[in-house]
A and B are shown apart, each in its own frame.
Chain A
Amino acid sequence: MSAHDPIELAAARPDFAAIAAWIPEGASVLDLGCGDGSLLRYLKETCKVRGYGVEISDANIVACIKNGVNVIQGDLDSGLSGFESNAFDFVLLSQTLQATRHTEPLVREMLRVGREAIVSFPNFGHWKARLHVLRGHMPVSDELPYQWYDTPNVHLCTLHDFEKFCTDLSLQILDRRVMTGGSEIHLLPNLLGSMAVYRFKRAG
């Protein structure tokens, strides 16, 4: 079994399976902040997507090429101007939202370029995060492994925050999956879920 076996990948990254469940076979996908291309490769193998990734790191560009996925080197914070409107069925932002600087314009751009957007992020409202803050410290966890001084995460939010953000931007949430360690959370998601995946589009 290779490190990129779909089953192993899904176990390591529970949001992958959640995302794949929403994507019909053969869809076109743009993955923003695609890292080493694992998600795109997973979606290629499970959903036969036609996809591209956007990534800034040199090492990840090489990793994407090794993973056999298309990758365009670029900075998300300088926008998606190279991409045509409605060019993709889905635009993904997996565990990257919290590290973007210009988050609101980026989310608008996602829905210019794609018909639907899928976003996953660590839930800052998770009880462990709250407990850290209650004890007087910034949260550090599996989902948020950084110290306050070295974190790339500049825009952290809770499920409630994200849903209000969608309302404010006139975005219609189509589906949501909340998870902790690979198990789906239905009860008190903003307190018990460590990670969330949302699927949304422009309202109306």
Chain B
Amino acid sequence: MNNSVGIVSAQRATFDTPLIFRSGAVLPRYELVYETYGTLNADKSNAILVCHALSGHHHVAGVYADAPGNVGWWDTMIGPGKPVDTDKFFVIGVNNLGGCHGSTGPSSFDPQTGKPYGASFPVITVEDWVESQARLADRLGIKQFAAVMGGSLGGMQAMQWSLSYPERVRHVLAIATAPHLTAENIAFNDVARNAILTDPDFHGGNFYQHGVVPTRGLRLARMLGHITYLSDDAMADKFGRSLRAGKLGYSYDIEFEIESYLRYQGDKFAAYFDANTYLLMTKALDYFDPARACDGNLDKAFAAARADFLVLSFTSDWRFSPERSREIVNTLLHNRRNVSYAEISSEHGHDSFLMPHEHYFDLMRAYLDKIAKEFSA
């Protein structure tokens, strides 16, 4: 693996200053797990923060010594000589607060009660995440990121960084994202949430004490989500109307390959992901709307931004369509920010942002190489 960051290990940072959420809730103490790749330069100007989407986490690149098959979720993008070149940049992946991969979240023990937070974990917003990430940046001595980047919900965090901390981010790479979700998008999230909330094993979010997991709900939520992350064409190409048994069975068992695939994806996800985290993540997506505080005026919301932007969308992405990226671009134009925008031809739907694609990677490499010249010059 000559272009992998190689063996990595997660680190943990504890924060004892209470974090006040947008909702008014207070978390007196929290932990974030994170990984870093590459070397922070002397003036700490080469750091990139990678923000994850709904089901992501801090393991962005490389592998673990004890789990060589567990490759980071954006390993194709990040590593020595890759578009996000770890020979030039110091890259940070962090598990978001409320997550289920080691950072404090609903499945963590609440020191005040000695039980998992469960339903008592506060509903979290993108702004809250940025706040928690800023404290991690402080801890690492990073005053200003060379870039904050992410796709989907990760792109929302990257944009929010430029609004919450305009002076702390030089570039925002906002990929397959939107300035807010549409009603249709919220509707998909609500169906997913309902699948979990109505699962008898959910127990109002406190299922940990009952020794059960709302697997059925989580699995349905994932199956629905997964459909919306693909495209009609991609599904037709991959599965078509193929039957597993080669013939109709006249039953409700798994017959079509697409059914098999979705159930597999649902089962796999439900086996490791926390149902409360899923609820929190979809809620953060629904709530993100920087224009809301400015009477619906997105231009006003972005007036604070000082970063340069790269905005990327994918033609077949109907969950975060190119039109939504154009809204971001137009707002940046109205605010006279430096911005470049590309609409990438890809058939893989919303998931395109996670896939290796020559033109996509060329764009990322070109943009990031320009950023690297800013601090190596």
Binding site for B on A (CB under 8 A): 28, 50, 52, 58, 61-62, 64-66, 68, 70-74, 82-84, 87
Contact = CB atoms under 8 A, between A and B. Distances in A.
Interface stretch (B109-117, B280-288, B329-337): B329-337
Contact of B336 (A50, A64, A68, A73): A50
B370 A68 contact: yes
How many chain B residues sit at the interface, stated as a range, is 20 to 34
B330 A82 contact: yes
B147 to A, nearest CB: 14
Contact of B366 (A62, A72, A83): A62
Given A65-B310, A73-B342, 18 more contacts: A50-B336, A58-B345, A61-B340, A61-B342, A61-B363, A62-B359, A62-B362, A65-B363, A65-B367, A68-B370, A70-B340, A72-B329, A72-B340, A72-B341, A82-B330, A82-B333, A83-B333, A87-B333
B131 interface: no
A66 B334 CA distance: 24
Contacts of A65: 310, 340, 363, 366-367, 370
A194 to B, nearest CB: 33
Contacts of B343: 73
A72 B343 CA distance: 9
A88 to B, nearest CB: 10
Given A82-B326, A82-B329, A82-B330, A70 B338 contact: yes
> Which secondary structure dominates where chain B touches chain A?
helix
Given A50-B336, A82-B333, A87-B333, A73 B366 contact: no
Contacts of A74: 341
A87 B336 CA distance: 9
Interface string B157-170: 00000000000000
A112 to B, nearest CB: 15
B303 interface: no
B235 interface: no
A71 B312 CA distance: 12
A56 to B, nearest CB: 10
B339 interface: yes
Contacts of B334: 84, 87
Interface string B300-340: 00000000001000000000000000100110011010111
Contacts of A71: 340-341
Interface in B353-377: 359, 362-363, 366-367, 369-370
A62 B363 CA distance: 5
A58 B359 contact: yes
Nearest to A61: B342
A81 B344 CA distance: 20
Nearest to B339: A70
Nearest to A63: B366
B116 to A, nearest CB: 46
Closest 3 CB pairs of A and B: A65-B366, A82-B330, A72-B341
6 contacts: A62-B359, A65-B340, A70-B339, A71-B341, A73-B342, A74-B341
Contacts of A50: 336
Nearest to A28: B336
B329 A66 contact: no
Nearest to B341: A72
A109 to B, nearest CB: 15
A68 B370 CA distance: 7
Nearest to A83: B333
Contacts of B367: 65
Contacts of A64: 340
Contacts of A70: 338-340
Nearest to B299: A84
Contacts of A52: 333, 339
Nearest to A71: B340
Contacts of B339: 52, 70, 72
A70 B342 CA distance: 11
A73 B329 CA distance: 10
Contacts of B329: 72, 82
B162 to A, nearest CB: 16
A28 B326 CA distance: 21
A115 B366 CA distance: 32
Most A-side CB within 10 Å, residue of B310, B330, B366, B370: B366
A3 to B, nearest CB: 16
A87 B338 CA distance: 14
Contacts of B362: 62
B81 to A, nearest CB: 17
Contact of B341 (A68, A73, A83): A73
Contacts of B363: 61-62, 65
A84 B331 CA distance: 10
A114 B188 CA distance: 42
A28 B335 CA distance: 13
A84 B334 CA distance: 7
A126 B342 CA distance: 38
Contacts of B330: 82
Nearest to A72: B341
B224 to A, nearest CB: 31
B208 to A, nearest CB: 48
A68 B367 CA distance: 8
A48 B310 CA distance: 21
